[in-house]
Amino acid sequence: MSTHNITVQVNGARQSAEVESRLLLVHLLREVFRLTGTHIGCDTTHCGACTVLLDGEPVKSCTVLAVQADGREIMTVEGLEQGGALDPVQEGFWQEHGLQCGFCTPGMMMTAYALLKRNPDPSEEQIREAISGNLCRCTGYVNIVKAIQYAAAKRPAEVT
């Protein structure tokens, strides 16, 4: 199996690794960089638990090869908190009880973060459409939608 040297920017920090061609991005993050906040639910692009941002766009990291991320910027759930302060999206999930078991939560939050970056004031329909690739077995989605609405209401004052 051939290997490749790749360098990525993860949550603002430059990281390099030698990886096999077949290594998936989610395994690079979890096993090589030890960023285990990104979860693996299905490994088949269905559940969205592995969602991270690649150059600002949400991707299912179980469907991206690590070599495809070479030279690019990755943001994981560990990158949401800044200087000890929770991102409004994290606060929203806390305040509105947007989780139960929490397995889907990192992926949900990354999808929500990306949505609010491109659309700071989404309608409920737009929120539901944005998270349609992220499955939750516990909550019934109602409180997840409320969590994202909370974050949308909070973000303009806090994010430049």
Instruction: Give the binding site for ligand FES (CB under 6 A).
Output: 40-43, 45-50, 60, 62, 99-104, 136-139
* Residue placing its CB nearer to ligand FES in the complex, 99 or 116: 99
Shortest Å, Cβ 16 to ligand FES: 24
* Residue placing its CB nearer to ligand FES in the complex, 43 or 160: 43
Asked whether the beta carbons of 108 and 58 are under 8 A apart, the reply is no
Closest by CA position to 60, among listed 106, 4, 19, 120: 106
* Residue placing its CB nearer to ligand FES in the complex, 18 or 129: 129
* Residue placing its CB nearer to ligand FES in the complex, 31 or 121: 31
Token readout for 151 is: 């974050």
* Residue placing its CB nearer to ligand FES in the complex, 98 or 122: 98
Three-state secondary structure call for residue 60: strand
Shortest Å, Cβ 5 to ligand FES: 25
What strands lie across the sheet with 51-54, from one edge to the other?
Answer: 13-20, 3-10, 73-75, 51-54, 57-60
Shortest Å, Cβ 24 to ligand FES: 9
Closest by CA position to 71, among listed 14, 3, 150, 128: 14
CA 134 – CA 91 distance, rounded (Å): 19
Shortest Å, Cβ 135 to ligand FES: 7
Residues in the chain: 160
Shortest Å, Cβ 13 to ligand FES: 23
Quickly tell me which residue has 């690590």 as its tokens.
Answer: 66
